[in-house]
Amino acid sequence: MLDDFSLSDQRNLMGLSLDDVEFHRGDIRDESVVEDAMAGVDGVIHLAAVTGAAKSHDIRDRVMDVNVGGTEVVADAAEAAAVDTFVLASSCNVYGDTYEEELTEESEPMPGNPYAESKLECEDIVAEREFHDVSLRLATNFGYSPGVRFNLVVNSFVFRALAGEPLTVYGDGTNWRPFLHVQDTARAFEAALDWDAGTYNVGLGNFQIEEIADVVSDELDRPVETAYRYERDPGPSYHVRFEKMRDAGFEPQTGLAAGVRELAGTYDPAHRIGRDTYQ
């Protein structure tokens, strides 16, 4: 494992079983650190990146330096170490403002921000190497994890609803986005080590933003105010297909409603229920 903790916290590792994990602290742009971490490795799962589509417009140079430049370093080291399989964390965000109604892996990407541009470039970088490459175009994550992010729409909606704050919806809430529980994302990375080379859309399904607000209200069993900001651009709307993922034998296990209940149970004792019900 290689991480510089620039976007996370070491305390997120507390409670995890790390007996069989060799940890390296460093930057993926540091060739010597990456080469040391690559020694004796036969498979790579590359997640390190500066994330956040909206904010990436303001930090374009950093996004490109870390995401693209860093991936070049990691891919070079993996190739030099004769790594068998390289799994890249890409994003459904690469589709951007597409005009297609149903998006498959063959659809033309139209990245609308530096983050999406960087991920598309990273796909090209790993595809040009000698190792077996798998790029996962991930849906937007939701659900609890030790480093849970509250700038993701489902997580944000649950937290705001628990705090009694209105859920802010940009536009009319009818734009579509694909979503995936964070634990299913982790499962997909592990499974992808055995998939055929290529690009895969990975997600649970597609939901409209207003639908997510309704699910949050239903699962918390309380009235939730929704504040529509019609003057704000809601961002791209896209509907992604996941047949190739399912043909590879992978099926997400945690639904949207279950993920909402899980978050609510984590942060509000009144909603705490058995983990077996989060399915």
- Do 131 and 149 sit in the same domain of this protein? no
Predicted confidence at residue 85, as pLDDT, reads 98
Same-domain status, 44 and 167:
no
Lowest mean pLDDT among 122-126, 160-164, 240-244, 274-278: 274-278
Q: Each residue of 40-51: pLDDT tens digit?
A: 999 999 999 988
Residues 30-71 have pLDDT tens digits of 999 999 999 999 999 999 998 877 777 888 999 899 999 999
Residue 193 lies in a domain: no
pTM of model > 0.85: yes
Gap between the Cα atoms of 25 and 27, Å rounded: 7
Angle at 155 between CA 149 and CA 157, to 5 degrees: 135
H or E element that contains 218 = helix 209-220
Interval 105-112 mean pLDDT: 94
pLDDT for 184-217, tens place per residue? 999 999 999 999 999 999 999 999 999 999 999 9
Mean pLDDT of the chain: 90
SS3 111: coil
CATH number for the domain spanning 253: value is 3.90.25.10
CA pair distance 119, 137, nearest whole angstrom = 9
Print the domain residue range for 92. 1-138
